[in-house]
């Protein structure tokens, strides 16, 4: 049987149903293999992956030590029920707790980021006896939610919450909802707005505030200095659980193990997935603060998953966290990301007026593209598709969201790879400036 780009494409379009898409309009990129920062198709065309896929391959593709860790576990035990005790699971939990710090007691493992957030919300509701969850309009926390409500057996009952979710505006100075003109104003007004939402909703009904430690898909929105500390204070004042979603921002992406460590705050629950094992095996979970853990010492937790703490996922977490430490990947994300990558992106903004704003930290950046720097009019979806196609044609995989190019290479990216990527972005934005600026 012949396997080439065309046969793989044709079989995909015949049999595979893709997420978030109009099926008939799909033209998926064809990928056969990967190594480090690179991917290849079936005909040898090479791509430099500055998307880290969905911002998850923090150690790059096919890291040999992570592959070896998974292979060793394959020969020992490939699956085991969550109610068992297992060495690989213990080791993964211990590694995560060491990174999170002494305030945290235990880890609950899930299959991905969405169910990590589902379970963190469940814990917060049980712990507080309240049901509302406040989160930002500018956030992405996962794509589940109806599964337990649709469940028929009695495990459904303790999960039937009558009221739901309330949203608020979190800081985004470039397009401020608070008419702010500087970071300090954006921070102060954002916190005042959140306080008003808490008061208007009734603090005694709010179980949790769920926030991405650094909002990613919404645009790599680095919070203004003091904002996260202010949210922590509001949570303390009103007895609200602070859930920090580190699914995208965690594990070196921002140049620290966790993004919330930039703010010197301690969340009550930390949710994780993606970079925890670079996605080599689906995995996620919740890191639980001592006080919430203590609550469940004598109360049943009504939640669970067949693959919670799956041995292959656990082995991949242990190997990934070990290799990130041994190969100094967090430091690399910091030095290269805040060094040549940051400087290069800022130089592109000096050169190309299509860039309205550059923001980010570590290996987590966004270029916001506008037709006009004064009006800040966003590039259209068609224009962004043209830019995306031009980048891919030149061998660079970007993560595109709305009018933004997100620049998110693996944490072990090299300066040479950064230079290659910047040259391609430079060329494509030069072309885009002549076509799309008004
Ligand atoms: N939380 C954040 C911040 C995310 O970026 C994502 C996915 O992009 C999720 C949660 C959901 O994770 P998953 O797709 O693994 O369910």
Cα–ligand 1 centroid distance for 268 (angstroms):
19
- Report how far Cα 202 is from the mean position of its chain's Cα atoms: 30
What pairing do the DSSP bridges indicate for beta strands 269-272 and 284-289?
Answer: antiparallel
DSSP 8-state assignment for residue 340: I
Cα–ligand 1 centroid distance for 430 (angstroms):
33
Cα–ligand 1 centroid distance for 165 (angstroms):
17
pLDDT recorded at residue 31: 98
Q: Is the confidence at residue 99, as pLDDT, over 70?
A: yes
Lowest mean pLDDT among 66-70, 81-85, 219-223, 432-436: 432-436
Instruction: Report how far residue 273's alpha carbon sits from residue 313's, in angstroms, rounded to the nearest whole number.
Output: 11
Task: Return the number of other C-beta atoms located less than 10 Å from residue 210's C-beta.
Answer: 23
* 140 close to ligand 1 (CB < 6 Angstrom): yes
Class of domain 65-326: alpha beta
* 125 close to ligand 1 (CB < 6 Angstrom): no
Region 413-436 average pLDDT: 96
For 233, residues 6+ apart whose C-beta sits below 8 A from its C-beta are none
Cα–ligand 1 centroid distance for 217 (angstroms):
9
pLDDT recorded at residue 390: 98
* 247 close to ligand 1 (CB < 6 Angstrom): yes
* 334 close to ligand 1 (CB < 6 Angstrom): no
The residues with which 167 forms a beta bridge, in sequence order, are 135
Cα–ligand 1 centroid distance for 247 (angstroms):
6
Pocket perturbation via mutation, ligand 1, pick of 221, 269, 273 by most ligand atoms within 8 A of CB:
273
Torsion, Cα 273 365 57 50, to 10 degrees, reads 150
Instruction: Name the 3-class secondary structure at 354.
Output: coil
Pair of tokens at residue 98: 């060491």
**pLDDT bracket for residue 348 (50, 70, 90):** very high
* 412 close to ligand 1 (CB < 6 Angstrom): no
Query: Residue 22 burial by CB count (10 A; 0-12/13-18/19+): exposed, middle or buried?
Result: exposed
Locate the domains of the chain by residue range: 31-62+328-436, 65-326
Cα–ligand 1 centroid distance for 402 (angstroms):
17
Instruction: Name the 3-class secondary structure at 270.
Output: strand
Instruction: State what percent of residues in the chain have pLDDT above 70.
Output: 96
CA neighbor of 168 nearest in space, from 234, 115, 111: 234
Instruction: Report how far residue 360's alpha carbon sits from residue 363's, in angstroms, rounded to the nearest whole number.
Output: 8
pLDDT digits 0-9 by tens, 123-158: 999 999 999 999 999 999 988 875 566 666 676 677
**CATH architecture for residues 31-62+328-436:** Alpha-Beta Complex (3.90)
Q: Is the confidence at residue 45, as pLDDT, over 60?
A: yes
pLDDT digits 0-9 by tens, 212-242: 999 999 999 999 999 999 999 999 999 999 9
Beta carbons of 151 and 303 less than 8 angstroms apart: no
Pocket perturbation via mutation, ligand 1, pick of 116, 140, 221, 245 by most ligand atoms within 8 A of CB:
140
Region 407-417 average pLDDT: 98
Instruction: State what percent of residues in the chain have pLDDT above 90.
Output: 93
Instruction: Name the 3-class secondary structure at 206.
Output: strand
Instruction: Name the 3-class secondary structure at 286.
Output: strand
Query: Residue 191 burial by CB count (10 A; 0-12/13-18/19+): exposed, middle or buried?
Result: buried
Region 35-54 average pLDDT: 98
Q: What is the mean pLDDT of the chain?
A: 95
Instruction: Report how far residue 200's alpha carbon sits from residue 193's, in angstroms, rounded to the nearest whole number.
Output: 10
Shortest-distance Cα residue to atom 5 of ligand 1: 248
Q: Is the confidence at residue 51, as pLDDT, over 70?
A: yes
pLDDT recorded at residue 83: 97
What pairing do the DSSP bridges indicate for beta strands 364-369 and 396-397?
Answer: unpaired
* 112 close to ligand 1 (CB < 6 Angstrom): yes
pLDDT recorded at residue 147: 59
For 310, residues 6+ apart whose C-beta sits below 8 A from its C-beta are 79, 80, 109, 111, 281, 283
Instruction: Name the 3-class secondary structure at 159.
Output: helix
Nearest ligand 1 atom to alpha carbon 284: 15
Region 416-429 average pLDDT: 98
Q: Is the confidence at residue 84, as pLDDT, over 70?
A: yes
**pLDDT bracket for residue 64 (50, 70, 90):** very high
Q: Is the confidence at residue 112, as pLDDT, over 80?
A: yes
pLDDT digits 0-9 by tens, 243-262: 999 999 999 999 999 999 99
pLDDT recorded at residue 359: 98
* 248 close to ligand 1 (CB < 6 Angstrom): yes
Q: Is the confidence at residue 164, as pLDDT, over 90?
A: no
Pocket perturbation via mutation, ligand 1, pick of 248, 253, 278 by most ligand atoms within 8 A of CB:
248
ipTM: 0.99
Lowest mean pLDDT among 95-109, 133-147, 369-383: 133-147
pLDDT recorded at residue 6: 97
pLDDT recorded at residue 152: 65
**pLDDT bracket for residue 289 (50, 70, 90):** very high
Pair of tokens at residue 86: 């297992």
Instruction: Report how far residue 176's alpha carbon sits from residue 357's, in angstroms, rounded to the nearest whole number.
Output: 13
**pLDDT bracket for residue 437 (50, 70, 90):** confident
For 290, residues 6+ apart whose C-beta sits below 8 A from its C-beta are 103, 104, 105
Instruction: Report how far residue 280's alpha carbon sits from residue 321's, in angstroms, rounded to the nearest whole number.
Output: 13
Beta carbons of 212 and 220 less than 8 angstroms apart: no
Cα–ligand 1 centroid distance for 272 (angstroms):
9
Strand order of the β-sheet with 364-369 is 355-361, 364-369, 404-407, 399-401
Region 373-390 average pLDDT: 97
pLDDT recorded at residue 148: 62
């Amino acid at each position: 049987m012949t396997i080439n780009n065309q046969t793989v494409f044709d079989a995909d379009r015949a049999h595979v149903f893709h997420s978030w898409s109009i099926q008939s309009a799909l033209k998926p990129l064809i990928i056969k293999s990967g190594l480090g920062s690179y991917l290849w198709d079936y005909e040898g065309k090479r791509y430099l992956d500055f998307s880290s896929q969905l911002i998850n391959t923090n150690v790059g593709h096919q890291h040999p030590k992570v592959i070896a860790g998974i292979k060793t576990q394959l020969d020992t035990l490939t699956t085991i029920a969550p109610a068992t005790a297992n060495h690989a699971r213990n080791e993964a939990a211990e590694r995560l707790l060491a990174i999170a710090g002494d305030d945290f007691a235990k880890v609950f493992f899930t299959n991905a980021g969405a169910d990590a957030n589902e379970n963190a919300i469940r814990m917060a509701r049980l712990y507080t006896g309240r049901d509302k969850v406040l989160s930002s309009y500018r956030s992405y926390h996962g794509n589940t939610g109806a599964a337990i409500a649709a469940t028929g057996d009695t495990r459904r009952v303790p999960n039937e919450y009558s009221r739901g979710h309330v949203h608020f505006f979190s800081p985004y100075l470039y397009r401020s909802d608070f008419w702010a003109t500087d970071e300090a104003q954006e921070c102060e007004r954002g916190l005042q707005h959140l306080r008003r939402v808490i008061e208007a909703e009734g603090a005694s009904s709010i179980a949790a505030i769920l926030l991405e430690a650094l909002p990613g898909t919404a645009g790599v929105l680095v919070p203004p200095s003091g904002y996260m500390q202010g949210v922590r204070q509001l949570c303390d004042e009103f007895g609200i659980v602070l859930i920090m979603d580190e699914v995208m921002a965690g594990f070196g992406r921002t140049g620290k193990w966790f993004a919330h460590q930039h703010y010197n705050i301690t969340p009550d629950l930390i949710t994780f997935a993606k970079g925890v094992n670079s996605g080599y095996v689906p995995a996620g979970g919740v890191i639980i603060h001592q006080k919430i853990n203590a609550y469940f010492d004598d109360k049943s937790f009504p939640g669970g998953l067949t693959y919670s703490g799956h041995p292959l996922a656990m082995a991949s977490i242990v190997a990934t966290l070990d290799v990130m430490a041994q190969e100094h990947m967090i430091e690399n994300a910091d030095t290269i990301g805040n060094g040549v990558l940051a400087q290069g992106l800022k130089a592109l903004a000096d050169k190309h007026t299509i860039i309205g704003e550059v923001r980010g930290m570590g290996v987590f950046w966004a270029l916001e593209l506008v037709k006009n720097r004064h009006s800040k009019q966003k590039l259209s979806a068609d224009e962004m598709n043209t830019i995306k196609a031009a980048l891919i044609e030149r061998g660079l995989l970007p993560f595109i969201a709305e009018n933004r190019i997100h620049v998110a290479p693996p944490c072990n990216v090299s300066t040479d790879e950064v230079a290659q990527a910047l040259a391609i972005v430079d060329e494509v934005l030069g072309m885009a400036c002549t076509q799309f600026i008004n």
